[in-house]
């Protein structure tokens, strides 16, 4: 379908770096809303605190006994209508000794729909099509681009090595479509996740 799908950026940064990213949204008076039934709104400090809890779960040297979760919609009113982005925690699956690891490498997904719904009507009734969001919401798309470029400047492509095969002699480099900041790479390299699976970070 034309104009379907999402613009996406997958990345992992430290809580301090995430705050500087989220401040770009705050400057545009965007609202951070939880994806719960009540659609609870959080301020920047609450969002950053929640991200720190999520991030520290994976960078801790001992695995914490809570399950991390970080999902927000970012609502903006830049083009005379409410629109926005979606930010959530996801994970990259990786193999260890001929099977999939039970844990995943963490990252944040920032996404923006490519399509803008346009309602139409003809003799058969009502219907809708998706047109290019860049034409209908240029300021929203521009903010996504600005944020993406800011994240890319502070990150590098994620590369890490795993013992993927049956032998402990063969290291295999993972090249997911994820970006990571050098500071986050350093903190992940000493985490329980890396010790448990004997991973090694290739990002400097």
The two tokens of residue 170 are: 């063969």
Closest CA to 40 of 86, 78, 76, 72: 72
* pLDDT band at residue 165 using 50, 70 and 90 as cut-offs: low
| Block residue for tokens 């809570």 | 66
% of the chain at pLDDT higher than 70: 90
For tokens 């500071």, name the residue: 183
Q: What digits encode the pLDDT tens for the residues 171-188?
A: 889 999 999 999 999 999
**For 140-159, how does the pLDDT look when each residue is reduced to its tens digit (9 = 90+)?**
999 999 999 999 999 999 99
| DSSP character at residue 51 | H
Q: Residue 12: its pLDDT value, please?
A: 98
Backbone angles phi, psi at 130, to 5 degrees: -110, 125
Q: What is the pLDDT of residue 127?
A: 65
Q: Is 15:23 a contact under the CB 8 Å cutoff?
A: no
* pTM of the model as a whole: 0.88
Report the pLDDT value the prediction gives residue 202, as an integer from 0 to 100: 86
**Which tens digit of pLDDT belongs to each residue from 40-75?**
899 999 999 999 999 999 999 999 998 888 999 999
* Phi, psi values for residue 158, rounded to 5°: -70, 130
Give 145's contacts (C-beta < 8 A, 6+ positions apart): none
C-alpha gyration radius of the chain: 19
Of 133, 138, 63, nearest in space to 103 by CA: 63
* Per-residue pLDDT at 7 exceeds 60: yes
Residue 43, burial from CB neighbour count under 10 angstroms (0-12, 13-18, 19+): exposed
Could you tell me the pLDDT band of residue 3, with boundaries at 50, 70 and 90? Answer: low
Q: Work out whether the CA dihedral 6, 110, 67, 65 comes out positive or negative.
A: positive
Distance CA 130, CA 132 (A): 7
Condensed to tens digits (0 to 9), the pLDDT of residues 68-91 reads: 889 999 999 887 878 889 999 999
Mean pLDDT of 9-32: 95
Percent of the chain with pLDDT over 90: 65
């Amino acid at each position: 379908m034309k104009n379907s799908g999402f613009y996406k950026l997958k990345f992992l940064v430290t809580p301090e770096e995430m705050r500087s990213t989220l401040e770009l949204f705050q400057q545009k008076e965007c609202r951070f809303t939880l994806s719960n039934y009540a659609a609870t709104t959080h301020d920047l400090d609450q969002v950053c605190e929640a991200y720190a809890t999520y991030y520290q779960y994976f960078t801790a040297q001992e695995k914490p006994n809570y399950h991390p979760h970080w999902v927000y919609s970012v609502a903006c009113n830049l083009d005379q209508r409410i629109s926005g982005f979606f930010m959530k925690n996801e994970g990259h699956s990786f193999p260890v000794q001929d099977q999939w690891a039970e844990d995943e490498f963490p990252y944040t997904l920032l996404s923006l729909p490519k399509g803008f719904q346009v309602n139409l009507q003809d003799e058969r009734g009502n219907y809708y099509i998706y047109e290019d969001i860049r034409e209908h919401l240029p300021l929203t798309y521009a903010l996504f681009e600005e944020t993406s470029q800011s994240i890319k400047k502070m990150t590098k492509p994620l590369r890490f090595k795993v013992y993927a095969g049956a032998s402990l002699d063969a290291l295999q480099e993972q090249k997911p479509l994820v970006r990571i900041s050098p500071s986050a790479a350093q903190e992940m390299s000493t985490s329980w996740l890396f010790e448990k699976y004997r991973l090694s970070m290739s990002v400097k």
